[in-house]
């Protein structure tokens, strides 16, 4: 097999440098590819210049700088995908532990405090990852999104940290928790709702119902911390809002003129079933059937945690990856 001389190898290296390559490792890789390709072509009877021209067309048809740009873009996309994967895994774990902590509270499990601590610790990890990701993307975010992202990070961090330190610093944790829920309810949620409401007109009804449900939930949490009995009223309003949301989503699903994917079908079905069971259990408490309401409540939380949340998180993750690839293209 023909082997290139040192002078020919140096000539190839210099031409690669002249093509705009700046990355040293990429220069070395391309040099090796060029040399192997040229030697094979020469073995077939081509002269050096013809073999080099064929190698250039085959390996770098749009120039070496284009390959370097594509490589950098691929590395950037891989980093973004890795960050998204961490955010969704930690976020799902925290959300999964939420109904589990409610179940532990209902049955007075000894592990209730540990589950609650783990849930808020994972929430804090998720918030830190979101903050790091937002800092990296700060140049591409509008001022409005920077504001509501910051309020969400601050509010969520206060709640997560307060829950983790309440064993040692109860008084401080008490005020931090109230402040965190207040920021989420009166700053983050309205700003986030306005952004989504303006940018996604097809799902405005869902955003209104979701916003009201989340707002009533956060406000009920504040009242619970303050020891106010009015919290039950807002919990009922929260449950009603999410029940309406489930109905809207189900109606859109049934009205769709094209077949839905199996994952989306299971997600909608599990969400509607879980929400219906929880709402029924909540309403049955007022009629005095406590035992049956507990059974239905646990069943609803189990469906939500084990079916709806994994499917919903998976769809969000896939949609997020699609947006990342579309932006790169």
**Which residues constitute the domain of residue 57?**
6-61
DSSP three-state, residue 3: coil
**Which stretches in the chain have pLDDT values below 70?**
1, 19-26, 61-76, 106-107, 167-171, 256-260, 285-288, 324-329
Q: What is the pLDDT of residue 154?
A: 92
Q: Kindly give, in sequence order, each residue whose CB lies less than 8 Å from that of residue 34, ignoring residues fewer than 6 positions away.
A: 12, 16, 52, 55, 56, 59
Q: How many domains does the chain have?
A: 1
Answer yes or no: is 146 within a domain.
no
Q: Using the CB atoms, write b or e for 239-267: b if 16+ within 10 Å.
A: bbbbbbbbebbeeeeeeeeeeeeeeeeeb
In a domain, 22, yes or no: yes
Cα–Cα dist 136/226, whole Å: 38
In a domain, 267, yes or no: no
Tens digit of each residue's pLDDT (9 = 90 or more) over 189-219: 899 888 888 887 777 888 899 899 889 988 8
**Using an 8 Å Cβ cutoff, are 119 and 101 in contact?**
yes
d(CA 188, CA 69): 38
Residue at 188 is within a domain: no
CA–CA dist 274, 299 (Å, integer): 7
Q: Is residue 86 part of a domain?
A: no
- The answer as to whether 245 is a domain residue is no
Among 131, 123, 81, residue whose Cα is nearest residue 98: 123
Nearest CA among 31, 30, 48, 27 for reference residue 39:
48
pLDDT tens-digit readout, 269-327 = 888 888 888 778 877 766 667 778 878 888 888 888 888 888 888 888 887 777 766 65
């Amino acid at each position: 097999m023909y082997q290139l001389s040192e002078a020919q190898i140096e000539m190839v290296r210099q031409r690669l440098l002249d093509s705009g390559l700046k990355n040293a490792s990429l220069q070395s890789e391309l040099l090796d590819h060029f040399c192997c390709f040229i030697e094979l072509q020469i073995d077939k009877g081509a002269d050096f210049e013809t073999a080099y021209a064929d190698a250039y067309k085959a390996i770098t048809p749009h120039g070496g700088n284009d390959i370097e740009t594509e490589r950098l873009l691929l590395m950037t996309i891989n980093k973004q995908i890795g960050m998204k994967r961490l955010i969704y895994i930690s976020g799902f774990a925290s959300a999964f532990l939420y109904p589990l902590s409610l179940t532990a509270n209902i049955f007075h499990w000894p592990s209730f405090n540990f589950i609650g601590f783990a849930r808020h610790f994972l929430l804090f990890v998720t918030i830190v990852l979101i903050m790091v990701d937002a800092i990296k993307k700060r140049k591409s975010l509008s001022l409005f999104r920077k504001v509501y992202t910051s309020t969400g990070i601050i509010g969520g961090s206060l709640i997560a940290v307060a829950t983790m330190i309440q064993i040692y610093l109860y008084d401080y944790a008490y005020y931090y928790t109230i402040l965190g829920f207040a920021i989420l309810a009166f700053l983050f949620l309205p700003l986030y709702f306005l952004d989504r409401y303006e940018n996604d007109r097809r799902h405005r009804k869902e955003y209104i119902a979701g916003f009201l449900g989340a707002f009533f939930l956060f406000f009920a949490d504040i009242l619970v911390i303050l020891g106010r009995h009015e919290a039950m009223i807002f919990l009922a309003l929260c449950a009603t809002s999410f029940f309406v949301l489930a109905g809207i989503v189900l109606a859109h699903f049934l009205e769709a003129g094209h077949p839905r994917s199996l994952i989306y079908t299971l997600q909608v079905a599990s969400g509607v079933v879980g929400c219906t069971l929880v709402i029924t259990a909540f309403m049955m408490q007022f009629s005095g059937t406590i035992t049956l309401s507990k059974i239905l409540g646990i069943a609803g939380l189990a469906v939500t945690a084990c079916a709806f949340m994994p499917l919903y998180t998976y769809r969000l993750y896939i949609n997020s990856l699609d947006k990342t690839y579309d932006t790169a293209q």
